[in-house]
Amino acid sequence: MHNVTANGATIPALGFGTFRMPGPDVLRIVPHALKVGFRHVDTAQIYGNEAEVGEAIVNSGVARGDIFLTTKVWVENYRHDAFLASVDESLKKLKTDYVDLLLLHWPNEAVSFAEQIGALNAVKEVGKVRHIGVSNFNTDLMAESVKLSKAPIVTNQIEYHPYLNQDIVIEAARKAGMAITGYYGMADGKVFTDPVLKDIAARHGKSVAQVVLRWLVQQDGVIALSKTVGEARAAENFAIFDFALSTDEMAAIHGLAKTDGRIVSPDGLAPVWDKAA
């Protein structure tokens, strides 16, 4: 495991995601993921499983201080008082008095951006969160968040996989000292049948999932979230730090990007996305 440093935060480069993961699965798989070596766990208010994530961490035998824990505030909670109350509720569910990283989950124009960023800063100032960031923001929104925030913005969590060119957002993040946290790395399963990825995986004696996760974390300033409910797959997903992809292999994977590669773009939430170069 290596870490990504971004605006004062040190973040494990490989995280364990819990999106669409039912509570019973969380209680079973998160302690196992921590046992095999994961030290970065990602959840969100809207996932409906913060309580199980908290319980799983408590029951894992791994000290809270050794785990980098991220959650995200849902868009309906962006007004200042609701924001503060929702963070308190998240902390109660997560059975902790702080989270390592708190993100705005999606843009929401119904609440002023200054109010949203102000609330993020307010919970940081009182020690309830160590670092703050954003999710699903385009470059304009990223720049605005950096400008409005007293505390450093450390990451933008976005969809990122071999079929979606995110160079523009990644470059903007680097210039601002931010990391990019990539979700949906497996492109909803599309990667598993890709001949280019299968060939690279065979060459290294690794799985396609391992190759994709390696491709993500091998990029400067990129953090990858992996997700599985299978014990064997969790251990496999973590075993990506004993090999490296060549420059040609990295380029071949970048070359899989398509103009219509984006999968996640919900109406009413998604911003106007930056067009790939």
67 and 39 Cβ atoms separated by less than 8 Å? yes
Tell me how many degrees the CA angle 265-94-144 measures, rounded to the nearest 5: 40
Distance CA 224, CA 256 (A): 18
What is the sign, positive or negative, of the torsion defined by CA atoms of 188, 94, 53, 149? positive
**How many residues can be counted in the chain?**
277
Assigned token pair, 180: 């990019």
Tell me which of 47, 78, 163, 184 is the catalytic residue. 47
Distance CA 134, CA 124 (A): 14
Q: How far is C-alpha 116 from the geometric centre of its chain's CA atoms?
A: 20
Establish whether 47 is a catalytic residue.
yes
* 8-state DSSP, 20: T
Q: How far is C-alpha 136 from the geometric centre of its chain's CA atoms?
A: 10
φ/ψ (deg, to 5) at 225? -100, 130
Place of tokens 């919900």: 266
Helices 80-94, 113-125: crossing angle, 10 deg rounding: 40
Longest dimension (CA), the chain: 54
Distance CA 153, CA 134 (A): 7
Distance CA 82, CA 16 (A): 28
φ/ψ (deg, to 5) at 153? -90, 125
> Active-site residues: which are they?
47
